[in-house]
Copies of this chain bind each other. A is one copy, B any other.
Amino acid sequence: MLQDEGLERAVAWFRNQARFEERFAAAIRQSFDEVFDGQRTGRYRIEQLGKAEKTYIGTKVEIVVQDEFGLQRGRRLDYLVDEQEVDSKWSMTSGAWMIPTAAVGELCLCLTANDNRSEFRVGIVRAGDARLRAGLNKDKKRRLNDDGLSAMTWLVSRGDLAENLLLHLDDGIRDSILNPAFSGQRRVNELFRLVQQRIVRREVVLTVARQDDGPKRVRDARKALRGEGVIVLGHQQSHPRIAEALGLAIPPKGSWLSCRVVRDGGEGERTAEIAGASWRLARPGDQPEPGPAVYT
């Protein structure tokens, strides 16, 4: 195979960016969430979008990736990556990127993600004519052929996308949480009551609340759920320590995690000291009891 210096430079540039896999993941998650516009619409899955919105996801990904990596605009194509012109191509299906005439023979940054499987992938390929299928679609775009797909250099061949929590709930639980007869606050309470020990991102809270102050809704949920021993941990103050002591995931910034606790009676389980008392995770059979009044 012939060398392709431009390809090598673009690939090397991305691979040299700190935490590039995580940043591609965040850019794609952010793009999906912005187009869902969950705070205004309550939507959480691709199938709920209109045609114009599905098309627009590719544009949003292009913009967010450019911003995330501080890329300059190209003269002919979307980006300039280490002086190489690179076009950004999005597809909801891996392999189905559509290459316009202007990008034939050019470097294409090909991105895709599957929200159901919480996966994404990113590769770069030079979309030479011999690597494209013969048939044009109505926009005169062509798909990569097998040679084209084989020639892809994967920057991330199978990366983890932050979970779309609402998408992955049982239908019954999701319906309880999204009940339109409830107030936004009550829906958020239901979220943290019914979905425990899982990371809940800010966007999920906003989609459930249909209101704009996520942190305030979480603070009020803490009050509402205290009586049944459900605590909601964030990323600040003593919360990471409590989460770790109980053996739970530590919520990253802008996310929360709830769990039900009871006072420890020396059962030999993991415990956390909260406001001077010792607490453990409740087992399903434990009687509910009020949780700690204050845990900051």
The verdict on A52 contacting chain B, using a C-beta distance below 8 Å, is yes
The verdict on A41 contacting chain B, using a C-beta distance below 8 Å, is yes
Minimum CB–CB distance from A178 to chain B (whole Å) comes to 14
Question: CB-nearest residue of chain B relative to A180?
Answer: B72
How many angstroms between the C-alpha atoms of A64 and B37 in the bound complex? 10
How many angstroms between the C-alpha atoms of A67 and B50 in the bound complex? 17
Which chain B residues lie closer than 8 Å to A66 at the CB level? 40-41
Minimum CB–CB distance from A62 to chain B (whole Å) comes to 9
Which chain B residues lie closer than 8 Å to A67 at the CB level? 40-41
Set B40, B50, B52, B64: member contacting A52, Cβ < 8 A: B52
B interface footprint on A66-83 (CB within 8 Å = 1, 0 otherwise): 110000000000000000
Interface residues of chain A: helix, strand, loop or mixed (majority): helix
Question: CB-nearest residue of chain B relative to A59?
Answer: B52
Question: CB-nearest residue of chain B relative to A43?
Answer: B63
Question: Are B63 and A41 in contact, with the CB atoms below 8 A?
Answer: yes
Set B40, B41, B52: member contacting A56, Cβ < 8 A: B52
Question: Are B53 and A59 in contact, with the CB atoms below 8 A?
Answer: yes
The verdict on A58 contacting chain B, using a C-beta distance below 8 Å, is yes
Q: Which residues in chain A, 57-107, are within 8 Å of chain B measured between CB atoms?
A: 58-59, 63-64, 66-67
Question: CB-nearest residue of chain B relative to A210?
Answer: B67
How many angstroms between the C-alpha atoms of A39 and B56 in the bound complex? 18
B interface footprint on A20-46 (CB within 8 Å = 1, 0 otherwise): 000000000000000001001100000
Which chain B residues lie closer than 8 Å to A59 at the CB level? 50, 52-53, 56
Which chain B residues lie closer than 8 Å to A55 at the CB level? 52, 55-56
How many angstroms between the C-alpha atoms of A58 and B66 in the bound complex? 24
How many angstroms between the C-alpha atoms of A52 and B100 in the bound complex? 15
Which chain B residues lie closer than 8 Å to A56 at the CB level? 52-53, 55-56, 59
Minimum CB–CB distance from A172 to chain B (whole Å) comes to 22
B interface footprint on A206-228 (CB within 8 Å = 1, 0 otherwise): 00000000000000000000000
Set B37, B52, B58, B63: member contacting A58, Cβ < 8 A: B52
How many angstroms between the C-alpha atoms of A50 and B2 in the bound complex? 35
Set B40, B41, B53, B63: member contacting A40, Cβ < 8 A: B63
A: residues with CB less than 8 A from B are: 37, 40-41, 50, 52-53, 55-56, 58-59, 63-64, 66-67
**For the complex of A and B, 8 pairs with smallest distance between CB atoms:** A40-B67, A56-B56, A52-B55, A52-B59, A52-B56, A40-B63, A53-B59, A37-B63
Query: Beyond A37-B63, A52-B55: 12 further Cβ-contacts under 8 Å?
Result: A40-B63, A40-B66, A41-B63, A52-B52, A52-B56, A52-B58, A52-B59, A53-B56, A53-B59, A55-B55, A55-B56, A56-B59
